[in-house]
Amino acid sequence: MAWEGLDGIGGRRMAPGIWRWVAYHPEWKQDVACVVIDSGAGFVLVDPLLPVGPKGTAALRGLEARAEPPAIVLTVFYHERSAGDIIDRIPGTTLWVEARGVDRVESEVTHAFGAGD
C-alpha cells in the first residue's frame, strides 16, 4: 500500500506503484478520481482530494507518518482541492503546477511546468 490510510479511503492498486481512489467533491457534487504514484524514488499525489471526516483525517495522518514528504502535481489549477491541507501539515511537500495556472492557486507553488517537461 502506498501509505497507511489509503485503504480507508478506498485506495485500489492499478499497477505496480500506482494507486487510485475516488472522493466526493462537495462543490461539484460528484465523485472525482485521484492518483498516487510511488516509484521508490519519489512519492507523487496527483490532484489529491481527501474525504471529509475520520477517513480523510486518517489518510492525512498516514501521509504525515511517511519518511519523505510527497510531491503534489496538479493537472489543472482548479484541482488544488486538498493540496493546501497536505502542504500545511507536511513540511517539505512540493507543489507542481502547470505554468499558466500558477497565479490561480492559493498554495505556494514550488515548481511550474509546461508542455514537454
- Cell 504514484 -> residue: 37
Please list the ranges in the chain whose pLDDT falls under 70.
Answer: 1
pLDDT at 1: 56
Quote the pTM value.
0.93
Cα–Cα distances (Å) from 77 to 25, 41, 47, 102, 104, in that order, read 15, 25, 9, 7, 6
pLDDT at 115: 87
pLDDT at 42: 83
**48 and 81 in contact (C-beta within 8 Å)?**
yes
